[in-house]
Amino acid sequence: MKKFLFYVIALFCIVFLIPSICTKTKRQAQTKDNIENVEETKSTENNDTSTYPKYNYSNFATIKLYHSKTGEIEELPIDEYLYGVVSAEMPVKYDIEALKAQAVVARTYTIYQITHSNGKHGDTDICDNYACCQAWISKEDRFAKWEKKEAEDNWQKIVNAVDSTQGKIITYNGEVIDAFFHSNSGGITETASNVWGGQNFPYLQSVETSGEDEYSEYNSEVEISKEELINKIRKKHSEIEINYDEQDSIKIIELTESGRVKTIKLGNIEIAGTELRTLLGLKSTNFSFEIRDNSVIFFVKGYGHGVGMSQTGADSLAKQGINYEDIIKHFYYNVQIVDI
Ligand SMILES: [Zn+2]
């Protein structure tokens, strides 16, 4: 009988007590991990918030905008300025989450320009030329380009994108980032040093985005006569000679990590892909080419320098159900979106 009782107690221990102790230990360990994670997150947040006061939004309440065509200077409230930037930089038909991402990126870009001013526009903050700073259009000019019956709704959509993200900027280690953006990445973005030389920014890594090929900005072609190609390059490189009868008279020498042309040989010279892009007006440095009887044809993927947020990529992600914060975190590595 005693033996039987022993077996019953032993069985009870095996079936109930031991698993219960194990589970408890595991749970305790998990809880400890959670606490550590929370503390880690907290300490990171604390570090960041301690640096935010210098980006107090009220310090950026008014923007001095330099109109690059007329030379006029206009002062306007920052949010009003951002309505003009978002409506100039991104098609209003894009998803609202993409427009919100653009609003936060434009606000971040603006504050970076102000806090890192190199005095390129005198005592003004920023200009309205997309090739220099970021594009801007007045409400009046914007309305004139929209269908009359849609104009008011379109404008409200832009206002909503800016107002619903009011005061939000992107930071890395508590510092405002240089929020580069472009039209279409061709499927993969580029690092800054491959475009402008110099240093790379830790938050600007090369990232892939699906769905970019569904936009009209993805594919383009430039066909140019053999003679005109030489003439265009000769403006910068007077020594150029191309003997098209030679094999590899034009040859891509090196690609960047994202597959864009870093260096290309044209006859007797080698130049950067970025320079050829400028000289020929190609939409990006992500190109291949074909030499034909009388011409050279360039097949180009993507539109713009390829650094930072891709606008069509943002819209593509938004249409896949991704919100503006995650869109921003997709294009800018390891950043925070903070209220200032
Ligand atoms: Zn400018």
Quick check: 246 and 271 in contact, CB under 8 A? Answer: no
pLDDT of the residue at 316: 96
Q: Ligand 1 mean position to 169 CA, how many Å?
A: 20
Question: Which H or E run includes 266?
Answer: strand 261-266
In the structure encoding, which two tokens stand for residue 116, read together?
A: 């890192």
* CA 79/CA 87 separation, integer angstroms: 12
Question: Which H or E run includes 272?
Answer: strand 269-272
Q: Helix, strand or coil for residue 325?
A: helix
Q: Ligand 1 mean position to 110 CA, how many Å?
A: 11
Q: Ligand 1 mean position to 109 CA, how many Å?
A: 12
Query: Residues in the chain with pLDDT < 50?
Result: 5-6, 8-9, 11-51
Q: Ligand 1 mean position to 97 CA, how many Å?
A: 27
pLDDT of the residue at 47: 44
- Could you identify the residue written with the tokens 């430039």? 222
pLDDT of the residue at 21: 39
Q: Ligand 1 mean position to 106 CA, how many Å?
A: 13
pLDDT of the residue at 61: 85
Quick check: 214 and 310 in contact, CB under 8 A? Answer: no
Task: Please give the model's pTM, rounded to 2 decimal places.
Answer: 0.79
Q: Ligand 1 mean position to 57 CA, how many Å?
A: 22
pLDDT of the residue at 131: 85
Residue type, 18: I
Half-sphere exposure of 156 (CA within 13 A, CB side): 5
pLDDT tens across 113-139, in order? 888 877 888 889 999 998 889 999 999
Q: Degrees (nearest 5) of the Cα angle 303, 85, 213?
A: 25
Domain ranges of the chain: 58-179+323-339, 183-307
Residue type, 131: A
Q: Ligand 1 mean position to 117 CA, how many Å?
A: 11
